[in-house]
A and B are shown apart, each in its own frame.
Chain A
């Protein structure tokens, strides 16, 4: 298991101009390590759909990586979206799949212990798929392995679906989320759309 904040710190140490989409509990911790107009707080934008929003961003902005921290509980709310990514995800989409085996935000309720996300992602056609036919599904178990993989994940053509078994032992701060409409327009401005 990897400490979730260590995942965030490792990414911010390597990040340059990538879009980062975060959701649920992670939206309270990510701002501790990053303050960028290319960060997008998806909280309250639609249950289970952060990865779908990121897919749209990646398709619209092929010149830069779009990274999404996707939770396993949220994925269960939109399992079919794995199939969509298997068919359409472009090479610049990087899904960092935070697997903690619970619905953390709502109190840590467990879901079926029998779910295998690696198998689900492969079965949905992401491995060898996506729009490029170069999709990769991988599972990274340690922080050292994640840090070693990051330069490749940030530059290599994907799409990538990386499963990271995580736990959280650090404080989850209380933050005030900004208005929905403001978040969207801040990102559009940062991308040069508006």
Chain B
């Protein structure tokens, strides 16, 4: 049985293999290990904006200029960034690649505790905007990053992966 949560180092390896040049990332408690792994790797440029809408616009500018950015945010930030995602991704057909932390997932599937509304609305929001997405719950799911990347490239539209647990070392 797979361990819950993907390895931060293996996730970073997968990101680098796909040729991403910049990562726009706002830290959260579940992605902290990934944030530290990215920050300690000089091969990739890490930018930490102050809000997720900024991330979308900076990423769109990077892509327009010929770079390949990856936006890493939590689902709460996805909700905040709705207009920027519309304006900089969906409207102009900019293939933004998104990795979205699914806050509330682990609590919801364990059946313990209160259901976090951030969990509840994540997949319906992505479906509503027509953004294809794949779940990453452990290391075995990491190839989904490639699927997401290829889909964004082929459709010239945003695509996403959602990460269901905190990243491990």
How many chain A residues sit at the interface, stated as a range, is: 20 to 34
Contact in complex: B92, A84 (CB < 8 Å): no
- Is B57 in contact with chain A by the CB < 8 A criterion? yes
Contact in complex: A56, B53 (CB < 8 Å): no
Secondary structure at the A interface, as helix, strand, loop or mixed, is helix
- Is A61 in contact with chain B by the CB < 8 A criterion? yes
Neighbouring B residues of A83 by C-beta, 8 Å: 50
Q: Which residues of A are at the interface with B, using a C-beta cutoff of 8 A?
A: 40, 44-50, 52-61, 78, 80-81, 83-84, 87-88, 180-181, 183-184, 187-188, 191-193
Pick the residue among B59, B67, B83 that contacts A47 (CB under 8 A): B83
Contact in complex: A46, B61 (CB < 8 Å): no
Contact code string B138-164 (vs A, CB < 8 Å = 1, else 0): 000000000000000000000000000
Q: State in angstroms the CA–CA spacing of A184 and B92 once bound together.
A: 7
Most central of B51, B57, B69, B88 by chain A CB within 10 Å? B57
Contact in complex: B69, A56 (CB < 8 Å): yes
Contact code string B36-63 (vs A, CB < 8 Å = 1, else 0): 0000000001011111011011111111
Contact in complex: A53, B47 (CB < 8 Å): no
Closest Cβ–Cβ distance, residue B45 to chain A (whole Å):
8
- Is B64 in contact with chain A by the CB < 8 A criterion? yes
How many chain B residues sit at the interface, stated as a range, is: 20 to 34
Given A46-B86, A49-B56, 16 more contacts at CB 8 Å?
Answer: A46-B56, A49-B54, A52-B49, A52-B61, A53-B58, A56-B63, A59-B45, A60-B61, A60-B65, A60-B66, A80-B49, A81-B50, A81-B51, A84-B49, A181-B91, A191-B65
- Is B94 in contact with chain A by the CB < 8 A criterion? yes
Contact in complex: A60, B88 (CB < 8 Å): no
B window 74-94: CB within 8 A of A: 83-84, 86-88, 91-94
Q: State in angstroms the CA–CA spacing of A60 and B66 once bound together.
A: 7
Q: State in angstroms the CA–CA spacing of A181 and B53 once bound together.
A: 19
Contact in complex: B64, A81 (CB < 8 Å): no
Neighbouring B residues of A53 by C-beta, 8 Å: 57-58, 60-61, 64, 88
